[in-house]
Structures are given as C-alpha cells and as structure tokens.
C-alpha cells in the first residue's frame, strides 16, 4: 500500500483555460485550491455554476475549487502557480496586495518572452520579486488545457535548477492521466515552450493557404532547428529540444485544431489581418508577441532564424505569406545543420 501523499494549499494566479484545468488536476490529488482571476464574472461563474464557459467550455469544475478576485486571499498558499499571459506577469507581481511569495516554490505554466526586455518568464519573476532562481519551476510540454481538463492522457516536464523542487512538483501534480518527467534545463524548456508558438502560427498559415504535408513537415523540422540554435546560444542543452518541451510541444501546437496560435496563422493564410484576428479572440495567442521578442533575441545573440524572421515581417511589417515562403525557399543552398 502506497503511503498517503502530502496535501498542499495551492494558489493559482490566472483562471484561463490552463489555470482552470490545473485546478481540476490538483483537486483530483486532494490539494486545496484557490484560483485568482481579475474578472468578477469569471470568479462568480466558477463559484456558483462550477464552470468557466469562456476559457474551458463544457468542463465541470469541482466545487472544492474556490475562485477569488482578491489576490491577497492566496496568502496561505504553500505553492504559487503562475498561469497568467507572459506580458501581464510583471504587472501582477507588482500588485500591492500580492501575498509574500518569495520564500515559496513558484511554478510557471506560462509560455512566452517578455516584450522589450526579452526576458524569459523565469527571468521576469526572479527579477520582479527577487526570487532565488532555484525556487522557480516551469511545467511545460504538449498539453492542451481542454484535454487535460477532460483527463485525456498527457505527459509534460517539470524543470528547475533544484531537482528536488522539480520532483516535488512532479509528486504534487502527477495523476494516472497527467504524467510528469523532470529536468534541470530551465532555459531549454522555456525557449522550446515559447518559440513553438511562433512556428505554430507559420503552420497555421500553411493550413490557411491549403499547402501540403510536405510543406508542414519542412516547417516543423527547420523550425525545430531554429529553436534549438537559439536555445543553445542562450545556454540550453541541445538534447532538451528533442523532448517534450521541444519536439513534443512543437508537434502538437502546429497540428492541433485546439491551438490558438495555429488558428491565428490559418486566419492570416486566408487573408485576414492580425488586428482583425486579435479583435475576434477572447484568449491571447502568445505567439504574436513572442515572434517579435524572438526576432530581436536572435539578433542580440547573432543567431540565424530565417523562419522566425519571416514570421516577424508577416506579423509586424505586413509582408505577404506567399512572398515570405518564396524568400525562404530560394535562400542560398547549404548543408543541414542544427546548432
């Protein structure tokens, strides 16, 4: 008989699809969950109807999951989960009512690179609240919130410079349908999880233009090469990009109908502008912001990323996707290489 698992009080910052899905998973492991959201109407729906129709439609939320709009009510949490879009993390962490969290494990499930600063999420958090880096853990991999919430088998990776903290997150979150591996390559996991969204927008463009499997296979393969090159230049382990946070996340995001980033690309491929698409979406597609950040990050580190570069010109300079594809296909011939 297995020993009874320790239970925790867990505060989740962000009641979007992913934050809500993780509250369900954590509840299955008998942890006490408080879910913070900025919007009153979302908190009311979760507490009264036990649903989150905007971000996780059709999924029942356990009655034990409590939502609040008062961030101070998370003060008794043993562990904090950051499930906020990357571009809003810094402002939330600067909230005057934020509980003391710098001596707790901080788990991030956000995937992105901050605009202007070009910081990864770990850097944003440790910079904003002066958190010791080993207390930071990232949970990432091929994991659509909709599928996790419906308890479909999913496998992800927990990364931290402190393997003991990564293993603690592994124990806290792991269920028969949610399997977690561990690693100490935080940089690789963050870069893989962020940049795959840029490639996923490109994959959507291919779908919108009704191009074939050959085109998408080339995109995924060469996109992974670019992600790997940039990651290694920053300090990641190259082999990480063959794992769940690299190839696994890239594959699912480029091919799934559930992917917001792939959807954005598909709409662009069918002729819509980025502004039109953003205006019609309730949820944020992180890949739009990450494209700009990745473009300038590659410039900073002098790394060649032709696909990311063309995506930057499509999203921010109005370049036609057909012209971008032509420019990629007619680049100077060279050998295949990775990093």
Please give the full DSSP string across 249-313, using - where no structure is assigned: HHHHHHH-TT-HHHHHHHHHHTT--HHHHHHH-SS--HHHHHHHHHHHHHHHHT---HHHHHHHH
Beta-sheet pairing, 136-140 with 154-159: antiparallel
Q: Tokens in use for 27? A: 């509840």
Give every CB contact of residue 260 below 8 A, 6+ residues apart in sequence: 281, 283, 284, 285
**Per DSSP, which regions of the chain are E strands?**
9-13, 32-36, 66-68, 79-82, 105-108, 136-140, 154-159, 178-183
196 is catalytic: yes
At 335, phi and psi to the nearest 5?
-80, 160
- Say how many C-beta atoms besides its own lie within 10 A of residue 184's C-beta: 16
Whole-angstrom CA distances from 199 to 149, 169, 229, 242, 244 are: 25, 29, 14, 16, 16
Side-chain-side CA neighbours of 154 within 13 Å: the count stands at 26
Which of 111, 196, 210, 323 is labelled catalytic?
196
How far apart are alpha carbons 244 and 224 in whole angstroms?
12
Active-site residues: which are they?
A: 196
């Amino acid at each position: 008989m297995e020993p009874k698992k320790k239970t925790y009080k867990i505060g989740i910052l962000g009641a979007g699809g992913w934050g809500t899905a993780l509250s369900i998973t954590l509840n299955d492991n008998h942890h006490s969950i408080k879910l913070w959201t900025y919007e009153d109407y979302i908190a009311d729906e979760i507490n009264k109807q036990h649903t989150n129709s905007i971000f996780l439609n059709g999924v029942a939320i356990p009655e034990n999951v409590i939502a609040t709009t008062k961030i101070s009510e998370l003060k008794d949490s043993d562990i904090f989960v950051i499930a906020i879009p990357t571009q809003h993390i810094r402002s939330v962490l600067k909230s005057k009512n934020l509980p003391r969290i710098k001596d707790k494990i901080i788990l991030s499930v956000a995937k992105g690179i901050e605009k202007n600063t070009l910081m990864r999420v770990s850097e944003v958090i440790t910079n904003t609240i002066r958190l010791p880096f080993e207390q930071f853990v990232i949970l990432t991999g091929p994991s659509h919130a909709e599928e996790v919430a419906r308890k479909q088998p999913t496998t992800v990776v927990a990364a931290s410079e402190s393997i003991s903290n990564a293993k603690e997150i592994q124990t806290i979150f792991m269920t028969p349908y949610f399997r977690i591996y561990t690693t100490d390559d935080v940089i690789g996991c963050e870069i893989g999880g962020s940049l795959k969204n840029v490639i996923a927008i490109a994959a959507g463009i291919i779908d919108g233009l009704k191009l074939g499997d050959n085109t998408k296979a080339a995109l995924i393969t060469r996109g992974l090469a670019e992600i790997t090159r940039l990651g290694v230049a920053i300090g990641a382990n190259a082999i990480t990009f063959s794992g769940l946070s690299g190839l696994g996340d890239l594959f699912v995001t480029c091919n799934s109908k559930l992917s917001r980033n792939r959807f954005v690309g598909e709409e662009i491929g069918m002729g819509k502008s980025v502004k039109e698409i953003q205006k019609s979406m309730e949820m944020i597609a992180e890949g739009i912001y990450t494209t700009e950040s990745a473009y300038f990050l590659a410039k900073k580190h002098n790394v060649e990323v032709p696909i990311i570069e063309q995506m930057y010109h499509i999203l921010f300079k109005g370049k036609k996707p057909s012209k971008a594809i032509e420019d990629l296909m007619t680049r100077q011939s060279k050998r295949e290489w990775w990093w």
